[in-house]
Amino acid sequence: MADADPNRILIVDDDPDIHQLLATALRNRNYLIEHKYDGLDALSLLRARSFDLVLTDVRMPGLNGLELLRKMHEIRAATRVLVMTAEGTPATVIGSLRDQAFGYFTKPFSLDTAAETVALALSAGAPEDDIEVVSATPQWLTLNLRCKFEVADRIIPFLRELSIELSIQDRENVGTAFRELLMNAIEHGAGGDPSKAVRLDYMRTAKSILYKLLDPGEGFSPSNLPHAAISNAPDAPYQHFEARERLGLRPGGFGILVSKSLADELIYNEKGNEVLLIKYLSSSEH
The parent domain of residue 267 ranges over 127-286
Q: Are residues 239 and 207 in the same domain?
A: yes
Distance, CA of 42 to CA of 65 (rounded, Å): 10
The pLDDT tens digits for 155-179 are 999 998 888 888 888 888 899 889 9
Q: Are residues 173 and 253 in the same domain?
A: yes
Distance, CA of 87 to CA of 15 (rounded, Å): 14
For the chain, first and last CA: distance in Å? 61
Q: Are residues 201 and 80 in the same domain?
A: no
Q: Are residues 58 and 189 in the same domain?
A: no
User: How many domains are contained in the chain?
Assistant: 2
pLDDT computed for residue 247 by the predictor: 55
Distance, CA of 89 to CA of 30 (rounded, Å): 33
The pLDDT tens digits for 68-85 are 999 998 999 889 999 998
Residue 136's SS3 state is strand
Q: What is the mean pLDDT of residues 38-62?
A: 95
Q: Are residues 134 and 187 in the same domain?
A: yes
Here the CATH number for the domain that contains residue 45 is 3.40.50.2300
Q: Are residues 116 and 134 in the same domain?
A: no
Beta bridge partners, 209, equal: 204, 279
Q: How confident is the model at residue 236 (pLDDT cuts 50, 70, 90)?
A: very low
Distance, CA of 66 to CA of 57 (rounded, Å): 9
- Encode burial over 224-259: b for 16+ CB neighbours within 10 A, e otherwise: ebebbbbbbeeeeeeebbebbeeeebeebbbbbbbb
Here the CATH number for the domain that contains residue 200 is 3.30.565.10
Q: Are residues 156 and 134 in the same domain?
A: yes
Beta bridge partners, 200, equal: 143, 213
Q: Are residues 118 and 131 in the same domain?
A: no
At residue 12's C-alpha, the angle toward residues 11 and 17, to 5°, is: 80
The pLDDT tens digits for 127-143 are 768 999 999 999 999 99
Domain stop point among 98, 123, 148: 123
> How many residues make up the chain in this entry?
286
Q: Are residues 118 and 132 in the same domain?
A: no
Q: Are residues 151 and 195 in the same domain?
A: yes
pLDDT computed for residue 240 by the predictor: 45
Q: Are residues 132 and 116 in the same domain?
A: no
Distance, CA of 283 to CA of 286 (rounded, Å): 6
Hey, how many other C-beta atoms are within 10 angstroms of the C-beta on 195? 8
Domain stop point among 123, 151, 184: 123
Contacts of residue 13, defined as CB under 8 A and 6 or more positions apart, other chains included, come to 19, 37, 55, 56, 57, 60, 84
Q: Are residues 104 and 227 in the same domain?
A: no
Distance, CA of 140 to CA of 49 (rounded, Å): 38
> At residue 228, does pLDDT exceed 60?
no
Q: What is the mean pLDDT of the chain?
A: 85
Q: How confident is the model at residue 62 (pLDDT cuts 50, 70, 90)?
A: confident
Q: What is the mean pLDDT of residues 58-76?
A: 92
Q: Are 256 and 184 in contact (CB under 8 A)?
A: yes
DSSP 230: G
Domain stop point among 74, 102, 123: 123
Q: How confident is the model at residue 235 (pLDDT cuts 50, 70, 90)?
A: low
